[in-house]
Structure 1
Amino acid sequence: MAAHRTRRPGMIAGGIDLHCHGAAGFDFDTADASGITAALAHHRAHGTERMLLSLVSAPPAKLARRLHTLSTLIPGLPEAFGVHLEGPFLASSRCGAHDPSALEAPTPATVEALIEAGGGLLRLVTIAPELPGALDAIERFSAAGVTVAVGHTEADLDTASEAFDHGASVLTHAFNAMPGLGHRAPGPVGAALARDHVTLEVIADGLHVAPVVVRTLFAAAPGRIALVTDAMSATGLGDGTYRLGNLDVDVSAGRPVLTGTETLAGSTLTLDRAVQNSIDAGVPRSEALAAATSTPARAIGITHNGGEPS
């Protein structure tokens, strides 16, 4: 008879992470096959079965080259089911840990070049909808089968709502790098809550979003919260200085910030910890598990084969 295994409440199987930049000293912007494998292995040990490889903002030609490179690597990496471009179509005032010099507004030529370079590998792109050409870009990416997220934005309620009405269906790390949920100015979070087709990403690391707000979001948008890690290369390692794209990041007690600032630069979170943190915040266990499994799968249009604890 098989030995019984004690399970922590936050343990998951079949976890799906829509937003992850790396781990174990490797980032998906530059790592070779062995580095990507090491980063994926770290997250798999913490319950993530499949993930999108998130790339930070860079000039479109550089992103296109990286997409081409990843297209030769991902077929041999079953944990990776595509790429998320978190930029370069972001608001400079809300760029967070993205290099401001790499940001630009989308043009039809740039959008087409990225779609072509992705060759089906590109699954998610984050766009600030107030940028010139953004609504056309949202429609074109959506028509090409690429899920579009609103994020890193100054958009007000009406602008974000228009983006969701033009095909965007995800909110990138809710509350972070965007206006807050004001009682008179609901902003992008309010727009996402008002659109039943929109999935809201949440980084439940205790740093990006307060636990009471995590619990409130789950209650306000049942079945529409996707827990993400937004993990960077320092995940799984100790304190020190690391790189995120072209920028230096200092990690102290697991908290990564851009060097010389207090700007959070991703996280050192794992998906099992995100689930446990949500449970600790008062989210029912079944809902926290769904937010790390079936909900992100539905948001990106992939098949999910179960999310019961392993």
Structure 2
Amino acid sequence: MSVDQQLQGQILTPQGWVHGSLAFSEKIQAITASAGTTAADAENSYYILPGFVDLHVHGAGGKDTMEAGDAVEVIARKHAQHGTTSMLATTMTAPLADLEQALQAIRPSVEKRSSGAARVLGVHLEGPYINPGKLGAQPDFAHAGSLDQVRYLNAIAPIKLITVAPEMDGHLQLVRELTDIGMQVQIGHTLGTYEEGKAALENGATGFTHLYNAMSRLDHRAPGMVGAALAHAQFSEIIPDLVHVHPGAIRAAMRAIPHLYCVTDSTAASGMPDGQYMLGRQVVHKCLGGVRLEDGTLAGSTLTMDQALRNLVSIGLDLEDASKRVSTYAADYLGLNERGRLQAGSYADLVVLDRQLNLIAVYVEGEKIDLADA
């Protein structure tokens, strides 16, 4: 097999750091350690890490996934310029007709990756099967879910992840049914108790949507859904923009949840100047790095995954741990053994960073991404 490209630097592999070269085409062909490497050589090298995997993406570049048209392609291009090499296009709570239209537009991007864009792995259906009393920034179209409706939507575009409030009537059974057909079910936008969260996990739920946000809080006498996550979860999302969650709460979650992974929950305002944007049917305002509804409610973020990595390091994580939380654990969650890690046979989804963790280069399945207008 011919080798198309080669990079040299400090390469993060599943076995640890290797100072050497990485040969790749669409997939990684070999990682070879350099002979006679000195400490100075290593300290002056670029970092080569797995490309970022983001399972909660609503928008970027002025576009929102619910807009249909070319929105998802624009979003996937913008996130690729910030190191995201694979992602889930995430919908909002909306009427069925709106979801149908959005999924129809997402499907072509799943079936074929556009040049210069991140790989769209499928859909994260965030609602409408959530608690209307814990909408957060979701529009008020929440309703009880059914397996038939999920199957119908899944036939339009593949749903890889679905957020459900398990305390709603019939939803514990729905969690079981969705798990039985192979979907990953996350608990989110919920007023459920600790006991209801534990029951959902026992019935097949596997994670939590943006931990701490839009869920019943932890109290020492009423642990809530946050308590269920901290006590029992193996996987959970968290938004590390340092706005949605305090650094201390992020670190507490990391001690409790072995595979806590990061998402951006990014909106159309990501990569754009301050101003007014759409999030589903709702107007949101970007100002001072945050995105909020008119009433001040946080409404997603402007976070990109390269900044998420830098934020994790800034609160005390070492780079290897931080990398796993923006790449490997999310890939593991979806069972993607060929993504989120640098080893022979994996897709050549790579990011190259300088010693200050600024992006130097991004490769998606071996294609070098143009960062010129990032």
TM-score (norm 1): 0.90
Aligned residue runs from structure 1 range 108-123, under 5 A: 108-118=147-157, 121-123=158-160
- Distance verdict in 2 for CA 1:152–1:2, change over 3 Å: closer
Alignment of 1:150 with 2:187, yes or no, is: yes
Corresponding residue to 1:74 among 110, 118, 121: 110
The unaligned stretches of length 5 or more in structure 2 are 1-5, 11-43, 343-349, 353-374
List structure 1 runs of 4+ shifted beyond 6 angstroms: 1-9
Alignment of 1:99 with 2:139, yes or no, is: yes
Alignment of 1:54 with 2:90, yes or no, is: yes
Which whole-Å CA distance do the structure 1 matches of 2:46 and 2:261 have between them? Answer: 20
May I ask how many residue pairs the two structures share in their alignment? 302
**Deviating more after overlay: 299-308 vs 173-182:** 299-308
SS across alignment from 1:268: coil
TM-score (norm 2): 0.75
Match of 1:193 in 2: 230
Match of 2:303 in 1: 269
Which whole-Å CA distance do the structure 1 matches of 2:184 and 2:7 have between them? Answer: 42
Which whole-Å CA distance do the structure 1 matches of 2:324 and 2:175 have between them? Answer: 27
Alignment of 1:290 with 2:324, yes or no, is: yes
Deviation at residue 65 of structure 1 after TM alignment: 3.8
Rg larger in structure: 2
SS across alignment from 2:251: helix
- Assess if the C-alpha contact under 8 Å between 2:52 and 2:340 holds in 1: no
Corresponding residue to 1:279 among 313, 323, 335: 313
Match of 1:84 in 2: 124
Aligned residue runs from structure 1 range 124-139, under 5 A: 124-139=161-176
SS across alignment from 1:292: helix
Deviation at residue 38 of structure 1 after TM alignment: 2.3
**Deviating more after overlay: 151-160 vs 75-84:** 75-84
Which whole-Å CA distance do the structure 2 matches of 1:305 and 1:136 have between them? Answer: 32
Deviation at residue 306 of structure 1 after TM alignment: 1.8
The unaligned stretches of length 5 or more in structure 1 are none
- Distance verdict in 2 for CA 1:183–1:309, change over 3 Å: farther
- Aligned-pair Cα RMSD in Å: 2.3
- Distance verdict in 2 for CA 1:153–1:3, change over 3 Å: closer
Aligned residues: percent identity?
34
Alignment of 1:255 with 2:290, yes or no, is: yes
Deviation at residue 115 of structure 1 after TM alignment: 3.4
**Deviating more after overlay: 273-282 vs 123-132:** 273-282
Which whole-Å CA distance do the structure 1 matches of 2:153 and 2:73 have between them? Answer: 24
Deviation at residue 110 of structure 1 after TM alignment: 2.3
Match of 2:53 in 1: 16
Deviation at residue 225 of structure 1 after TM alignment: 0.7
